[in-house]
Amino acid sequence: MKRILISALLGGAMLSLAGTPAVAKVTDKDIENDAATTGDVVSWGLGTRGQRYSPLAKINTKNVGDLVPVWSFSFGGEKQRGQESQPVVHNGKMFVTGSYSRIFALDAKTGKKLWQYEHRLPEGIMPCCDVVNRGAALYDNLVIFGTLDAQLVALDQDTGKVVWKEKLDDYAAGYSYTAAPIIAKGLVLTGVSGGEFGIVGRVDARDAKTGKLVWSRPTVEGHMGTKDGKDNGISGTTNASWPGDLWKTGGSATWLGGTYDPETGLAYFGTGNPAPWNSHLRPGDNLFSCSTVAIDVATGKIVWHFQGTPNDGWDFDGVNEFVTYKTKDGKVLGGKADRNGFFYVLDAKSGKFQRGFPFVRKITWASGLDENGRPKFDAGNRPGDPAKGDGKKGSSVFAVPSFLGGKNQMPMAYSPDTGYFYVPANEWGMEIWNEPVSYKKGAAYLGAGFTIKTIDDSYIGALRAVDPVSGKIVWEVKNNAPLWGGVLTTKGGLVFWGTPEGYLKAADAKTGKEVWQFQTGSGVVAPPITWDQDGEQYIAVASGWGGAVPLWGGDVAKKVNYLNQGGSMWVFKLHKNGK
Q: Is 386 in the site for Ca ion (CB under 5 A)?
A: no
Which of 273, 408 has the CB closer to Ca ion? 273
Q: Is 272 in the site for Ca ion (CB under 5 A)?
A: yes
Report the distance separating Cα 537 and Cα 526, nearest Å. 19
Q: Is 447 in the site for Ca ion (CB under 5 A)?
A: no
Using the rule CB under 5 A, give the single segment among 270-278, 377-385, 473-481, 513-521 that binds Ca ion: 270-278
Closest approach of Ca ion to the CB of residue 320, in Å: 12
Q: Is 291 in the site for Ca ion (CB under 5 A)?
A: no
Q: Is 273 in the site for Ca ion (CB under 5 A)?
A: yes
Closest approach of Ca ion to the CB of residue 272, in Å: 5
Judged on CB neighbours under 10 Å (0-12, 13-18, 19+), 568 is buried
Which residues, other chains included, contact 571 with Cβ-Cβ below 8 Å and sequence gap of 6+? 69, 70, 71, 72, 108, 111, 538, 539, 540
Q: How many CA atoms lie within 13 A of 168 on its CB side?
A: 34
Closest approach of Ca ion to the CB of residue 296, in Å: 25
Which of 537, 568 has the CB closer to Ca ion? 537
Using the rule CB under 5 A, give the single segment among 18-26, 111-119, 295-303, 307-315 that binds Ca ion: 307-315
Q: Please, are residues 95 and 143 in contact by the beta-carbon 8 Å criterion?
A: yes
DSSP assignment letter at 394: P
Question: With the CA atoms of 378, 379, 380 and 381 taken in that order, what torsion angle do they form, in degrees rounded to the nearest 10?
Answer: 60
Q: Is 527 in the site for Ca ion (CB under 5 A)?
A: no
Report the distance separating Cα 249 and Cα 265, nearest Å. 30
Q: What is the 3-state secondary structure (H, E, C) of 15-78?
A: HHHHHCCCCCCECHHHHHCCCCCCCCECCCCCCCCCCCEECCCCCCCCCHHHEEEEEEEECCCC
Binding mask 184-203 for Ca ion (x = CB under 5 A): -----------x--------
Using the rule CB under 5 A, give the single segment among 38-46, 62-70, 79-87, 382-390 that binds Ca ion: 38-46
Which of 323, 507 has the CB closer to Ca ion? 323
Which of 130, 317 has the CB closer to Ca ion? 317
Position 471: which residue type? G
Q: Is 279 in the site for Ca ion (CB under 5 A)?
A: no
Going by C-alpha positions, the residue among 322, 328, 254, 248 that lies closest to residue 286 is: 248
Binding mask 339-378 for Ca ion (x = CB under 5 A): ----------------------------------------
Q: Is 169 in the site for Ca ion (CB under 5 A)?
A: no
Q: Is 315 in the site for Ca ion (CB under 5 A)?
A: yes
Closest approach of Ca ion to the CB of residue 531, in Å: 7
Q: How many CA atoms lie within 13 A of 180 on its CB side?
A: 35
Residue 284: alpha-carbon gap to chain centroid: 28
Which of 531, 570 has the CB closer to Ca ion? 531
Q: How many H-runs (helices) and E-runs (strands) does the chain carry?
A: 4, 40
Which of 432, 466 has the CB closer to Ca ion? 432
Please name the residue ranges forming H helices in 229-330.
none
Report the distance separating Cα 458 and Cα 223, nearest Å. 46
Q: Is 34 in the site for Ca ion (CB under 5 A)?
A: yes
Q: Is 32 in the site for Ca ion (CB under 5 A)?
A: no
Q: Is 565 in the site for Ca ion (CB under 5 A)?
A: no
Closest approach of Ca ion to the CB of residue 37, in Å: 4
Which of 291, 522 has the CB closer to Ca ion? 291
Annotated active-site residue in 149, 169, 315, 338? 315
Which residues, other chains included, contact 218 with Cβ-Cβ below 8 Å and sequence gap of 6+? 200, 201, 202, 224, 225, 235
Name beta bridge partners: 353. 346
Which of 473, 539 has the CB closer to Ca ion? 539
Question: With the CA atoms of 436, 440, 445 and 451 taken in that order, what torsion angle do they form, in degrees rounded to the nearest 10?
Answer: -70
Using the rule CB under 5 A, give the single segment among 35-43, 110-118, 332-340, 424-432 that binds Ca ion: 35-43
Q: Is 176 in the site for Ca ion (CB under 5 A)?
A: no
Closest approach of Ca ion to the CB of residue 65, in Å: 26
Q: Please, are residues 530 and 88 in contact by the beta-carbon 8 Å criterion?
A: no
The residue number whose beta carbon is nearest to Ca ion equals: 37
Q: What are the φ/ψ torsions at residue 551 (nearest 5 degrees)?
A: -85, -40
- Catalytic annotation on 338? no
Closest approach of Ca ion to the CB of residue 250, in Å: 12
Q: Which of 32, 40, 338, 427 binds Ca ion (CB under 5 A)?
A: 40
Question: With the CA atoms of 247, 253, 257 and 258 taken in that order, what torsion angle do they form, in degrees rounded to the nearest 10?
Answer: -40
Which of 40, 166 has the CB closer to Ca ion? 40
Residues in the interface with Ca ion (CB under 5 A) total 8
Closest approach of Ca ion to the CB of residue 433, in Å: 17
Q: Please, are residues 245 and 276 in contact by the beta-carbon 8 Å criterion?
A: no
Q: Is 317 in the site for Ca ion (CB under 5 A)?
A: yes
Closest approach of Ca ion to the CB of residue 295, in Å: 21
Using the rule CB under 5 A, give the single segment among 27-35, 96-104, 177-185, 543-551 that binds Ca ion: 27-35
Q: Please, are residues 336 and 420 in contact by the beta-carbon 8 Å criterion?
A: no
Question: With the CA atoms of 18, 24, 25 and 27 taken in that order, what torsion angle do they form, in degrees rounded to the nearest 10?
Answer: 140
Using the rule CB under 5 A, give the single segment among 129-137, 316-324, 346-354, 549-557 that binds Ca ion: 316-324
Which of 40, 84 has the CB closer to Ca ion? 40
Which residues are near Ca ion by CB under 5 A? 34, 37, 40, 195, 272-273, 315, 317
Q: Which residues are catalytic?
A: 315
